[in-house]
């Protein structure tokens, strides 16, 4: 996993008005917390942060007042309609430290013939991983699964150094039977009645 470098600056103004001024300057207000230290209020370039967040579970090296600090994004707030970044919370991490993150679930293969549907019960898989070696995603094979089949968390092969942070018997994916459509004649008779 590659580190993404971002320049940040400390914020001294707080509140709604100060946050709006920060956003008008094309920056995103944020907070860095963790390791029992006092939270640091920062501002980060909006475009650079948006590009960094395109990588799932990005490991970010914040350059702040001549110092460098490793962080991961913990909470990202976006504007409801236009989806621009409003605020970000970063968690400070150290090499060798374990963190809980959620990995996107990718599927490969084809379901058994029959028009069945694949339901993602979990959109992402909660895992515990070393902060500087967070996998980007997990891949699950759905080849040949038929209606009624399920993939449990314990069935997923995790990358080395990663452990489940959810119950082993949690259903991650399940295959649903296709709904049979009523023949056209029956549908027409139902409308007349």
**What is the rounded average pLDDT for all residues in the chain?**
85
CATH H-level, domain 3-93: superfamily: Ribosomal Protein L25; Chain P (2.40.240.10)
Domain ranges of the chain: 3-93, 99-176
**Lowest model confidence (mean pLDDT) among 41-50, 67-76, 109-118:** 109-118
The pLDDT value recorded for residue 183 is: 59
pLDDT band at 180 (very low <50, low <70, confident <90, very high): low
Class for the domain spanning 99-176: mainly beta
pLDDT band at 127 (very low <50, low <70, confident <90, very high): very high
- Residue whose C-alpha is closest to residue 180's, from 116, 113, 112: 116
The pLDDT value recorded for residue 167 is: 92
Interval 10-38: pLDDT, tens? 888 878 888 888 888 999 999 999 888 88
CA distance 7 to 182: 60
Residue 83 has pLDDT above 70, yes or no: yes
- Residue whose C-alpha is closest to residue 60's, from 125, 10, 134, 137: 134
Q: Which residue has the higher pLDDT, 14 or 77?
A: 77
């Amino acid at each position: 996993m590659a580190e993404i470098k971002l320049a940040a600056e400390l914020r001294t103004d707080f509140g709604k008005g100060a946050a709006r001024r920060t956003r008008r300057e094309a920056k995103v207000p944020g907070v860095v917390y963790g390791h029992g230290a006092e939270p640091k209020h920062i501002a980060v370039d909006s475009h650079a942060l948006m590009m960094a967040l395109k990588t799932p579970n990005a490991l970010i090296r914040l350059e702040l007042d001549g110092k460098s600090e490793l962080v991961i994004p913990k909470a990202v707030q976006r504007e409801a309609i236009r989806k621009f970044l409003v605020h970000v919370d970063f968690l400070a991490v150290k090499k060798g430290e374990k963190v809980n993150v959620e990995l996107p679930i990718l599927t490969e293969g084809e379901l058994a013939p029959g028009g069945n549907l694949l339901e993602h019960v979990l959109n992402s898989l909660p895992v515990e991983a070393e902060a500087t070696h967070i996998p980007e995603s997990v891949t699950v094979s759905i080849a040949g699964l038929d209606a009624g089949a399920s993939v449990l968390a314990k069935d997923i092969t995790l990358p080395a150094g990663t452990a489940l942070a959810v119950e082993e018997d949690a259903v991650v994916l399940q295959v649903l039977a296709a709904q049979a459509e009523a023949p056209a004649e029956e549908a027409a008779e139902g409308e007349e009645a």
